[in-house]
Amino acid sequence: MQGDRILVLDFGGQQALSTAQRLRSIRVFSQVLPGSASLETIRAAMPKGIVLAGGDAAQEPLPLDCALLDMGIPVLATGASARRMAEVLGGQTHGVSIDRRTAQISFGASPLFSGLEESDRYFDRVEELLLPEGMKPIANSSAGLTPAFSNEEKRLYGLQFYAESNDPDGLAILRNFALDICQCDPWWTMEEFVERKTQKLRQQIGDGNVLMAISGGVDSSVSAALLARAVGDRLTCLFVDTGLLRKGEVELVERAYREQLSIRLVRVDARQRVLAQLSGVTAPEEKRRRIENTLFQVLQEQAAALGGAAFTADGAIYPDMLAKANLAKTGADNHVLHPLQHLFKAEVRLAGEVLQVPREMISRQPFPGPGLAIRIMGEVTENKLTMLREADAIFRQEIAEAGLDKRIWQYFAILTGLHSFGTRDGQTCYETAVALRAVSSSDAVTANAYRLPYDLLERVALRITTEIPGINRVLYDVTGKPSAMIEWE
In order along its 489 residues, the chain shows pLDDT tens digits of 678 999 999 998 888 998 999 999 999 999 999 998 999 999 999 999 999 998 875 566 778 889 999 999 999 999 889 989 999 999 987 766 666 667 778 888 899 999 887 776 666 677 778 899 999 999 887 667 788 999 999 999 999 888 877 566 889 999 999 999 999 999 999 999 999 999 999 999 999 999 999 988 899 999 999 999 999 999 999 999 999 999 999 999 999 999 999 999 999 999 999 999 999 999 999 999 999 999 989 988 988 888 878 899 999 999 888 876 544 444 456 689 999 999 998 899 999 999 999 988 988 888 888 999 999 999 999 999 999 999 999 999 999 999 999 899 999 999 999 999 999 999 999 999 999 999 998 767 789 999 999 999 999 999 999 999 999 999 999 999 988 999 999
What pTM, to 2 d.p., does this model score?
0.82
Three-state secondary structure call for residue 428: strand
The per-residue pLDDT for 331 is 43
The per-residue pLDDT for 165 is 72
The per-residue pLDDT for 330 is 43
- DSSP-assigned beta bridge partners for residue 139: 107, 148
Q: What are phi and psi of 396, to 5 degrees?
A: -65, -40
CA 243 to chain centre: 26
Among residues 437, 258, 438, 281, the alpha carbon closest in space to that of 361 is found at: 258
Among residues 83, 109, 81, 86, the alpha carbon closest in space to that of 97 is found at: 83
**Range list of β-strands (E), 142-197:** 148-151, 156-159
The per-residue pLDDT for 122 is 65
Which DSSP state fits 315? -
Q: Give the other-Cβ count within 10 Å of 268's Cβ.
A: 18
For residue 40, the surrounding DSSP H or E stretch is helix 39-45
* N-terminal to C-terminal alpha carbon distance within the chain: 35
The per-residue pLDDT for 234 is 95
The per-residue pLDDT for 462 is 98
Q: Give the other-Cβ count within 10 Å of 82's Cβ.
A: 27
Q: Give the other-Cβ count within 10 Å of 133's Cβ.
A: 8
